[in-house]
Amino acid sequence: MRLSEILYKEVSPIWSSYLTHPFIRELKDGTLPVEKFRFYMIQDYRYLYDYCKVFALGIVKASDPDLMRFFSDFVYFTLNGEMTIHRAYLKRLGASRKEILSTPMSLANVSYTHYMLEKAYSGGVLEVMVSILACAWSYELIGQDLAKNDPQTLQDPFFGEWVQGYSSDKYAQETRQLIDMTDRLGEGISPAQLEELKEIFVNCSRYEYAFWDMAYKMEK
């Protein structure tokens, strides 16, 4: 089995729970309160800054120029792709740059990003990849599930753009690049390292659930 297949098997029940979480369920129905989505978008925007730093640590850890370029590309994709959607939403929601940058990260958010950064600092390029992958891949799963099983969400006047972004071919292609690189780097790893990577992936997946929970409850 490829590394990504082993990792997915470990977290499949956790990821399935995202699809029934009240935040996703109400977003799908168009009943999610705007103030909860606004809270989520600000926290997620703050999260993405640290997410980029994890990719940047991949550049530091890499010794292969092609791998350095790979991580560099994803810093660019995040800052100029995913975060562009956030900026458009936050503008519609009346959130100024000053408010966004002065809003403290919630405890769940800062715990998650500090965990990823610690694993990236202390590990190698594969630990960087696995720390990142749970977020990117599970968002694709959510986006694809909504687009396939609840296609009306794509046309929602408010949440539709969010669903379109995470169910798009472009996002799927970028996620596939991350999965393929994880598999490439994971060839021939030891059983001990595999167990460490599984632990990181499970923990990041648990943090993802905690993030949805934090956003829905608007916990600081």
* Three-state DSSP string of 23-79: HHHHHHHCCCCHHHHHHHHHHHHHHHHHHHHHHHHHHHHCCCHHHHHHHHHHHHHHH
Active site residue 208: yes
Which position among 127, 135, 140, 204 bears the catalytic label?
A: 135
Task: Please tell me whether residue 219 adopts helix, strand or coil conformation.
Answer: coil
Set 127, 140, 174, 208: catalytic member:
208
Q: What is the mean pLDDT of residues 79-90?
A: 86
Q: What is the pLDDT of residue 51?
A: 97
pLDDT digits (tens, 9 = 90+) for 17-72: 999 999 999 999 999 999 999 999 999 999 999 999 999 999 999 999 999 999 99
Least confident of 3-12, 84-93, 155-164: 84-93
pTM (2 decimals)? 0.95
What value does the mean pLDDT of the chain take?
96
Closest CA to 95 of 51, 35, 52, 47: 35
| Mean of pLDDT values over 90-113 | 95
Q: How many C-beta atoms surround the C-beta of residue 66 within 10 A?
A: 7
d(CA 3, CA 194): 8
At residue 23, the pLDDT reads: 98
Is the confidence at residue 177, as pLDDT, over 90? Answer: yes
What integer is the mean pLDDT of 151-180? 95
80 burial type by CB count under 10 A (0-12 exposed, 13-18 middle, 19+ buried)? exposed
What is the pLDDT at residue 117?
98
Amino acid at residue number 217: K
* 81-89 contact pairs (CB < 8 A, 24+): 81/170, 81/174, 82/48, 82/165, 83/45, 83/48, 85/161, 85/162, 85/165, 86/41, 86/44, 86/45, 86/48, 87/45, 88/161, 89/41, 89/161, 89/162
Does residue 83 have a pLDDT over 90?
no
Compute the average pLDDT of residues 208-220.
97
> Residue 82: what pLDDT?
82
In this predicted structure, the answer to whether residue 81 has a pLDDT above a threshold of 90 is: no
Question: Taking residues 107-115, what's their average pLDDT?
Answer: 98
- The reported pLDDT for the residue numbered 85 is 80
Is 208 in contact with 136 (CB distance < 8 Å)? no
- Residue 84: its pLDDT value, please? 80
- pLDDT band at residue 95 under the 50/70/90 scheme: very high
Would you give the distance in Å from CA 42 to the centre of its chain?
A: 14
Helices 3-19 and 191-217 cross at an angle (nearest 10°) of 20
Residue 151's pLDDT band (cuts 50, 70, 90): very high
Which residues are CB-neighbours of 145 under 8 A, at least 6 positions away? 19
Q: Residues of the chain with pLDDT > 90: what percent? A: 95
- What pLDDT shows up at residue 200? 98
